[in-house]
Structure formats: structure tokens, C-alpha cells
Amino acid sequence: MFTTIEPRLPPELLYLILDTIDDPRTLLAFACTCRIFHERVEQIRFKRRGPNTFTDLDRLRMQLKEDPLIKYFFLRARCRAADLNKLACEFAGKLLGLKAIVLDGEDLTRPKPTRQPTFAALSHFKSVTELVLYRLDFWSFRDFAHLLCALDNLNTVRTTDISWQRDGRDLEDEPFAASLHLRSITIFDHDNLARHVSWLSAPKLRHSLSALTLQTSERLLSQWLDDGRDRFLASLANIETLVFSFTGEDISPTPILPIFLSKMPENCISYIAISYSVVDGSLPQQSSRNEECKSSFGVLDAMLTSPRFPCLTKVSVDVNGHPNDSTIMGVTELLLFPRLASRGILDQQVSTL
């Protein structure tokens, strides 16, 4: 229990002593001594932490020399794809508090072929649990796959518009991918959703994955239903959360999503979120599709209330479109999903741009 006993030494001297401590365990011991020390240690941590995301590796090197304790406070590393080797080889084992690495390609940057020493160095980032990849065109699928597998404790991957120039074997057949055990995956891709099956087929993913988010167009989901790719969906035995974010100029619902969901195993999916967002600035769809909407949502309603989803506790539906779009007007009237509504698990939002 914290106390309010005044320290015997003048506070100025105690604060000078605290400012020189570079061992987090010692700081923790001080913080647990009394309320005064606790407040002072929190001030020190806040001052040393600064921004929890760094982007300038040269500046970070200088900061580590000036104050070794900040290696515990940096949480996210955001750098250009070209600096991956620099980050891996210079800071391996030095950023003990790092939780996430963000590689930013800006304009579909193509990283140079990554060499084995880089992957070996990345394996020393034991605290990293999240990898974010933004607009990267990898030299090969193997480079991308090795990057995922190099981080031993990785459990969350978020990708936005990634691709590779050379295909490779599915990770199901690669021994180095045996340890990949992600829990949450987010994929943003409006071009080619099929290519992601190559890495989603890693052996342990079918048991470890609990949350899957797809930001794409509904029609691209059909790419996961062709050529036997739906076997991957049927193998997701422990999936609990599914999130679909459909965007584009035409957000009219189709029968593809119910078919997609029918391929999922009969497991304990507890939460499904579906959003339809028209691209800002695009023209509204003038053709009336209310009957088509009614049919598609009716099939979806029946699917989500079928015995295939016995553990479903909440379904969120969010539609954002043009006020003059006849599809949206129809959705406003027909989105109540009578079966889901009767079970009390539907949360719906309809809005306009």
C-alpha cells in the first residue's frame, strides 16, 4: 500500500538520484516505496518515453546512447521498407519494449531481396507481437513469408496493398513456417485477394487464428471460393471474430458473402461485423436494386441464424452511402434482418455521406 511518508533526504537530491537510474527494476522498486516516489517515477517515465513511435533510426541511435532506459519505452518502430535491414541489424536485442514494427512503402515500394542475416537479426526482436505492412511490392513471396516467420512471437499482422513479383510455394509446404501462429490478421486488398491464401495456409494458423478482417470488395471474396481455396476457410477451427469491410463505387450486397460464410466450419464464431461504404466522391447508383438487396440480405439473415453459427452473440451491420442511392434507401427499410433481430443480437447503423 502506498504511503505519504516524507523522504528524509531533500527532495531535490532524491530527484537527482532518480534521474540517473537506468534500470527499470530499480525504478519500479522506488515507485512501490511511497506515493511521492510513485508520482516522480511516472514523471520520469513520461519524459523519457516521449513519442511511443519512432521513425528516424539515426536519431534513435543517439537517444539510446544518451539514455539507455528509453529502450524499454519505445513501443512502435515505423520505418521505410528500405531501412528494414538497418533496423534489424543495428537494433536487434536493444529495443526491449518494442511491440510493433510498421514498414511503410508509401508508393508501392519494392524492397530489395532480403538476405538471411536480416531474418536472423529480426528473430532477436522477442517483444514484437504486431507487424504492419503498407503498400509494399516484395521481390518474392519467399521474402514476405520469411519476414513473417522471423518474428517468433508475432500474433498480429495487418497488410495494406502488398504484393510480390515472384510466387512461391504455399506456406503449408514450407518447414520454416511451422512456427507461424498468428491470432489476428487484417488484409486490405482491392486487387487480388487470392494471393493471400499462399501464406494463410501455414500449418498452425488454422488452429491459432481467432480474428480475421477483410477490407476489400464483396465480389473479390469469390476468389477464395475458386480452385479449392475454400479448403482454407473450412480449416479455421478456432476463429471467433470475422470482420468484413466492403468499399467501392457500388456497395450493393451480393450472394457471395452468404456463400463465403457457408464454407466456414461449424465452430464458435461469436462476433461478425459487416460494413458497406461507398467511395467518397463517387456517383450514386441510380438503378433500383431493392429486390436484389432484399434477396441477398434475406439469405444472409438465414445463414447467420442457421445451426452453423450456434455461438453467435452479436452481428454488426454498418452501411454508409449516398442519400440518393436507391440501394441505400432500400437497405434502410430492409436491413432489420428479422431472424437476427428476433434473437436480439443485431446492431445496425445506416448513414449517408
pLDDT of residue 1: 45
- Residue ranges for the chain with pLDDT beneath 50: 1-3, 5, 281-288, 329
24 vs 21: CA distance, rounded Å:
8
DSSP secondary structure of 139-150: S-HHHHHHHHHH
144 vs 296: CA distance, rounded Å:
37
Residues contacting residue 14 through CB under 8 Å, at least 6 positions apart:
7, 37, 40
Q: Supply 196's cell numbers.
A: 493471400
With contact defined as beta carbons under 8 Å apart, do 34 and 2 qualify? yes
**What does the mean pLDDT of the chain come to?**
82
Residues contacting residue 291 through CB under 8 Å, at least 6 positions apart:
none
What amino acid is encoded at 105 in this protein? G
Residue ranges of domains in the chain: 1-48, 50-148+160-167+198-204, 210-353
DSSP-H helix ranges across 174-289: 197-200, 205-208, 230-234, 256-262
Paired with 277 in beta bridges are: 247, 320
pLDDT of residue 286: 44
Task: Find, among 345, 7, 282, 349, the residue nearest to 16 by Cα.
Answer: 7
316 vs 314: CA distance, rounded Å:
7
Residues contacting residue 200 through CB under 8 Å, at least 6 positions apart:
171, 185, 232
- Please write the tens of the pLDDT for every residue from 294-322: 788 889 999 999 988 999 999 999 887 66
